[in-house]
Amino acid sequence: MSKSKDQVKKSRHLKRFHYSVDQAIEKQFNWKQMVRLLAYLKPYSKTYLPGAIIAMLISTAVRLAVPILIGNVAINVAIKNKDTSMLTYLVVIIGVLYLINYVGNIYRIKWVNILGQNVIYDLRKHLFSHVQRLSHRFFDSRSAGSILVRIMNDINSLQELFTNGIINLLMDVVTLIGIVVILLVFSPKLALAIMIILPIMFYISTRLRRKIRRSWQDVRIQQSRLNSHLNESIQGVRITQSFSQEKENAEFFNGINSDNFESWRNASKKSALFRPFVEISNAIGTIILITYGAHLVLVGVDNGGIEIGTFVTFAFFLGMFWEPISRLGQMYNQLLMAMAASERIFEFLDEQPNVKEKENAYEFKNMKGHIEFDKVEFSYDPERKALHEISLDIKQGQTIALVGHTGSGKSTIANLISRFYDPTKGSVKIDGYDLTDVRLDTLRQQISVVLQDTFIFSGTIMENIRFGQPTATDEQVMDAAKVVGADDFIQRLAEGYETEVEERGNILSAGERQLLSFARALLADPRILILDEATASIDTETEVKIQTALKRLLKGRTAIIIAHRLSTIRESDTIYVLEQGKILEHGSHQQLMDNKGEYFGLVKSQFQMLDAI
């Protein structure tokens, strides 16, 4: 039976997200994790937090005092005894109490908002700093969009919890405890009759808890997928338009958007179940108060009943009693949302770098640049080896080239030198030090990598070049640009070095972006320079300019060049030919040409391609 069009679309939709690691985190709701989240309040435990709590306690005390003054003092005493003076005093006292309540609320709202914003700032800063230090393997299996969701959306979802939720939770708990104590003191029988519905409410809320939590967790997953697709679509919009796939992409987006909509609808529907139960409980409580309370008033105080003022006080507190319970229900939903978000945040925070740094790691201060690979093996996944017992000895100041077909292991060797990954077997050493014994920052500060697809940040040309050496002066930046031949095109720009470039440097050509990356690398003054297909995007005219710059750039440095262009690698001291993670041959350009092996074949095929053109 053939599949329908919708089924095919759904199938493609699922397959496209098959790689996603954003899956439901199956953990029980536990308060240990919530305590961990609340630990971010600790830096403010002596400033905003106690101030907000004191303001909350004052406001709550006023709210609890007013019904007692109205029912048990104004009605039971002043009105009963027709004491107008006492009534006047009570009006003034209640007015003053409401004024105190107003001031307390102002400071409570002010301090909890400052507190919440500071906590969100600290949490986002902590998560971003942590993610920046994670190894490349972490980013290999996650899309940029899914990471953005956790740093932005998941942390934003905690904002309400920290700005209002925590203090409101304390206020509602204190209010409920105060009301229960007061009601039990005035009339235990009536109080117990009204609160008989509470065990039923507790049972229902417990049953709903897991379903609500999992539904909000699903919301986070769908948001992550939506953001991942948006990020991918925006970055690939030129490819989409070039293949006229706008309609197909829009249909695919509609599928993800529908999943996101359904997850929100489902979570909202389940969360909304709590409030009606509170309303029903309120109605039952009111019926009990009217029937049983009226009975107690009619039988009189002498026969175990209550006064009319006490009945009025109970009526006041009954309205106040269900209000915090209703808010606690909403707060509970908020806690479930916070738990779903915090699980995803802590999953990232608990992620440890695969490339770990030892406590007493060696600090590279004066690297010379002697690189050794001792029978190195490496695998990105257990099923396939990227390198097979590779042994290299690259002397200080040497320039070596790595050539071979795509997937032969060239870039893997470069990644191991920068210690973006650790070898599966064997060791990589620089100046005799095993890289696993070296501090990562001091290692990478003395290595510059220039990639084929260089990354240009939003900002000025000056700032982008200075990224390689933040303390460099403007003159040093300009000198570096002149050396690599970038100064010519920079001076032609409207504002020269102060020209603002867009995200990823879209206003620049591929060759111009590459020249900036060379200037950035030169300014960093590395001891080891890695060029990974760095000249692949440069046209012939620009390449001629950059050959002279390369001589200056490579002088006195150990260099590893990964390239296919003969003009880039023929001057290398040693050329290594790789195939499927193994070294097939090595030697100078002339030696390899004389051997007429794999390298000779690569060069010959390149010339044949040029002749064909």
Render pLDDT for 431-440 as a digit per residue (tens, 0 to 9). 999 999 999 8
- pLDDT at site 5: 45
List of domains in the chain: 31-349 (1.20.1560.10)
* Dihedral in degrees, nearest 10, Cα atoms 403, 404, 408, 412: 20
Q: What is the spatial distance between Cα 378 and Cα 17, in angstroms, rounded to a whole number? A: 28
- pLDDT at site 449: 86
At residue 583, the 3 state secondary structure works out as strand
Q: Which residue, 333, 417, 338, is CA-closest to 33?
A: 338
Give yes or no for residue 225 having a pLDDT over 70.
yes
- pLDDT at site 505: 63
Q: What is the spatial distance between Cα 219 and Cα 224, in angstroms, rounded to a whole number? A: 9
Residue predicted with more confidence, 518 or 546: 518
Q: How confident is the model at residue 560 (pLDDT cuts 50, 70, 90)?
A: very high
Can you tell me the mean pLDDT for 119-142? Answer: 86
- Output the 3-class SS for 203-270: HHHHHHHHHHHHHHHHHHHHHHHHHHHHHHHHHCHHHHHHCCCHHHHHHHHHHHHHHHHHHHHHHHHH
Q: How confident is the model at residue 270 (pLDDT cuts 50, 70, 90)?
A: confident
DSSP state of 44: G
At residue 380, the 3 state secondary structure works out as strand
What residues pair up with 433 in beta bridges, in sequence order? 430
Helices (H), 474-539: 474-483, 487-492, 510-524
Contacts by residues 93-102 (CB-CB < 8 Å, ≥ 24 positions apart): 93/69, 94/66, 94/69, 94/70, 97/62, 97/65, 97/66, 98/62, 98/66, 100/58, 100/62, 101/58, 101/59, 101/62, 101/63
- pLDDT at site 374: 92
What is the bridge-based pairing of β-strands 399-404 and 574-579? parallel
Least confident of 55-69, 74-88, 325-339: 325-339
What residues pair up with 371 in beta bridges, in sequence order? 394, 430
- pLDDT at site 404: 85
Q: How confident is the model at residue 302 (pLDDT cuts 50, 70, 90)?
A: confident
Give yes or no for residue 524 having a pLDDT over 50.
yes
Query: What average pLDDT does the structure give for the chain?
Result: 82
- pLDDT at site 385: 87
Give yes or no for residue 167 having a pLDDT over 50.
yes
pTM beyond 0.85: the answer is no
Give yes or no for residue 19 having a pLDDT over 70.
no
Q: Which residue, 554, 603, 538, 540, is CA-closest to 403?
A: 603
Q: What is the spatial distance between Cα 315 and Cα 290, in angstroms, rounded to a whole number? A: 9
Which tens digits make up the pLDDT trace of 193-202?
888 777 776 6
- pLDDT at site 478: 92
Percent over 90 (pLDDT), the chain: 16
- pLDDT at site 20: 44
DSSP state of 451: E
Give yes or no for residue 502 having a pLDDT over 50.
yes
Q: What is the spatial distance between Cα 601 and Cα 584, in angstroms, rounded to a whole number? A: 13
Q: Which helix (H) or strand (E) holds 336?
A: helix 308-349
Query: Residue 495 half-sphere exposure, CB side, CA atoms within 13 Å?
Result: 8
Look at the block and give the residue holding tokens 């107003």.
102
Which tens digits make up the pLDDT trace of 85-126?
888 999 999 999 999 999 999 998 889 888 888 999 999 999
Q: How confident is the model at residue 540 (pLDDT cuts 50, 70, 90)?
A: low
- pLDDT at site 546: 67
Can you tell me the mean pLDDT for 56-75? Answer: 90
Give yes or no for residue 27 having a pLDDT over 60.
no
231 burial (CB, 10 Å; 0-12 / 13-18 / 19+) is: middle
